[in-house]
Amino acid sequence: MASASPGAPAEPAPIPAVTIDAGKQPVSFYLQLAVTPEERANGLVGRPTLAVDAGLLFVFDKPGLHTVSLKDTLIPIDIVFIGADRRIVGIVENAEPLSKTERQIAVASQYILEIRAGLSSQHGFRVGQSVSFRGVPAR
């Protein structure tokens, strides 16, 4: 087995992505990550659009009853709450942009995926489905 020479360039980091096992066919989204408190506070603030194959993944250090605010978000989104076991634990569909109502579920989650509104229903996402990550920091 050959090893890389000391001057060889490192392998590029994988593009962060999430795949949801939605039954008929897995569904993947390329991700922007929100890992730090500042990144989580900014979220999708000010973004005018979100591609159908893109999402924002909030990564928390531990599971908890996390909330999402859309008061400065310009686009309607679906919010997929994911547990530490990487299964969907709740979904808020068609969350209204520029709303002061905080969104949350009554079950602990460690990850929150924000995607374009309507995609959860279109792909048949539901509680209990498994989720896999690529290029997402381990917690």
> Domains along the chain?
17-129 (2.60.120.1140)
DSSP 41: H
Which runs of consecutive H residues, i.e. helices, occur in 48-128?
119-123
Q: What is the pLDDT of residues 32-66, one digit of tens each?
A: 999 999 999 888 888 899 999 999 999 999 999 99
Query: What pTM did the predictor assign?
Result: 0.89
Q: Radius of gyration (Cα) for the chain, nearest Å?
A: 16
Phi, psi of 39 (to 5 degrees): -65, -40
The residue ranking higher by pLDDT, 75 or 10, is 75
